[in-house]
Amino acid sequence: MLDKLSNALKKTTDKIANAIFLDKNLVDQIVKDLQRALIEADVNVSLVLEISKKIKQAALEERIKGIEKKEHVIKLLHDELLNLLGEKREIQIQKKNVWLMLGLYGQGKTTTISKLASYYSKRGSRVCAVGLDVHRPAAAEQLKQLCDKLNIKSFILPGEKDPKKIWKKYKDEIEDYGLVIIDSAGRDALSEDLIEEIKEISKLAKPTETFLVMSADVGQTAKKQAQTFKDSVNITGVIITKMDSTAKAGGALTACAEVKAPVVFIGTGEKASDLETFDPEAFLSRLLGMGDLKALMEKIQSVVDKDKIEETQKKLQEGKFTLRDLQTQLDSMENIGSLDKLVGMIPGLGKAKIPNEAMQVQQEKVKRWKHAINSMTQVEIENPEILEKETSRIQRVAKGSGTSTSDIRMLIKQYKMLKEMMSSQAKIVEGGELDQKTMMKLAKKFGRRMRM
């Protein structure tokens, strides 16, 4: 059921969680993947564009940094998708329930009745089905056969062409049942005579719920269908069937939400047990492969913490942060000249507000540093201190990498400062959480010293 969409959404949230920094390239890629997945699931293009715009805006929002930004984007994605799925409407069983099933030909009305009957009789309701589809000769028989298999009582009158007569004939017997589910006739389209017939049945049976049954493969045309039925016969909920056999289910689900026709059940196969109540939040959680939003947030935290920060932290604690690590991190910055990626990786600092101008490290400088590190020997990379002691080494590296000796000195200075700062922080982190004040102090110090 919507496996492709589910996989794509999981990939999207993974990408956000794994990102060191949500830079423009990554955001573009994420939004593009998201758009493709939603459109493939038949979600209305203008809705897709609306969501993409919001996600993009949030992800590129400069004021929010690091992990906070990822949380913000994931939460937004979650909320927007939830919005697409519409409001939750839970069906409560009353003392007396009469449900009228409506829908065009072949949408799954009769099958769904047997599923509902089975579902609620297992949960203690006294259920019967009434066959009022008088237009197709075999319809009544089909209902009876399905019900018999499940030991559900059904009332049919094959050959009778007036549904009112059938209802009146069994009226007293039906009174005995707490949940009465009525099968009605379909047409190729909602026509005047069908509306008339539905109204007559409604008048007699006084349904407590009127459900429109629609197959998921109608896709976005579900919107028109739901709206038309809603306007002419006042449906109280929609049941979407055949969720298992189409990639267009996203279209049908979101289209119902658009016209505020709440989806109450979904059919997920041909068997009697293939029926689920529809809860948008739970459905989305399943699509995203997460228990709930909180779990999703924890995923972001854990990915960032485990994969990126802990490794750096471990190296720091072991005093092993080398120029090579700095280079790896510079590499991961790709073309972005800003330092907040790096800062985001320093434990505890991700949430501190770094003075803005300190973040404006020129792209060129970072590039030159990378060249410089490439021109160093393994020994130099692991012990940058020897560069300071032997000026000839600095000259050699500068020449080899097309940089200046002052570039190299600046690089070593930055490296030492970073190492010192990170290790002092690693110590604090070891002892427990960094408090906001310490964090700000470090951030300020960092910011001042980073100014070049």
Which region, judged by CB under 6 A, interacts with ligand GDP, from 165-173, 225-233, 237-245, 395-403? 237-245
Token code pair at residue 4: 């492709």
d(CA 320, CA 345): 16
Q: Which of residues 1-60 bind ligand GDP (CB under 6 A)?
A: none
Nearer of residues 106 and 400 to ligand GDP, judged by Cβ: 106
Which region, judged by CB under 5 A, interacts with Mg ion, from 133-141, 211-219, 331-339, 346-354? 133-141
d(CA 81, CA 370): 41
Question: Minimum Å distance from CB 238 to ligand GDP?
Answer: 13
Q: Are 34 and 12 in contact (CB under 8 A)?
A: yes
SS3 179: strand
341 interacts with, out of ligand GDP, Mg ion, none, CB within 5 to 8 A per kind: none
By the rule CB under 6 A, 108 interacts with ligand GDP: yes
- Which three-class secondary structure string do you get for 410-432? HHHHHHHHHHHHHHHHHHHHHHC
Nearer of residues 133 and 340 to ligand GDP, judged by Cβ: 133
Q: Which of residues 65-104 bind ligand GDP (CB under 6 A)?
A: 103
State which H helix or E strand residue 231 sits in.
helix 222-233
| Residue among 32, 94, 106, 307 that touches ligand GDP (CB under 6 A) | 106
d(CA 71, CA 301): 9
DSSP 44-64: -HHHHHHHHHHHHHHHH-TTS
267 interacts with, out of Mg ion, ligand GDP, none, CB within 5 to 8 A per kind: ligand GDP
How big is the CA angle at 211 (ends 45 and 173), to the nearest 5 degrees? Answer: 170
By the rule CB under 5 A, 110 interacts with Mg ion: yes
Contact residues for 126 (Cβ-Cβ < 8 A; gap 6+): 176, 177, 178, 179
Q: Which of residues 339-378 bind ligand GDP (CB under 6 A)?
A: none
Which region, judged by CB under 5 A, interacts with Mg ion, from 31-39, 139-147, 326-334, 389-397? 139-147
Which region, judged by CB under 5 A, interacts with Mg ion, from 59-67, 88-96, 109-117, 270-278? 109-117
| Residue among 12, 52, 107, 154 that touches ligand GDP (CB under 6 A) | 107
Quote the crossing angle between the two packed helices 3-18 and 293-303, to the nearest 10°.
40
Q: Which of residues 153-192 bind ligand GDP (CB under 6 A)?
A: 186
By the rule CB under 6 A, 242 interacts with ligand GDP: yes
- The single residue listed with the structure tokens 């109450």 is 264
d(CA 230, CA 190): 11
Q: How many CA atoms lie within 13 A of 33 on its CB side?
A: 19
**Residue in the shown chain whose Cβ atom is closest to ligand GDP:** 267
107 interacts with, out of Mg ion, ligand GDP, none, CB within 5 to 8 A per kind: ligand GDP
| Residue among 267, 280, 350, 447 that touches ligand GDP (CB under 6 A) | 267
**Dihedral, CA atoms, 314, 317, 318, 321, nearest 10 degrees?**
80
Interface with ligand GDP by CB under 6 A: which residues? 103, 105-111, 186, 213, 241-242, 244-245, 267-270, 274
Interface with Mg ion by CB under 5 A: which residues? 109-110, 139
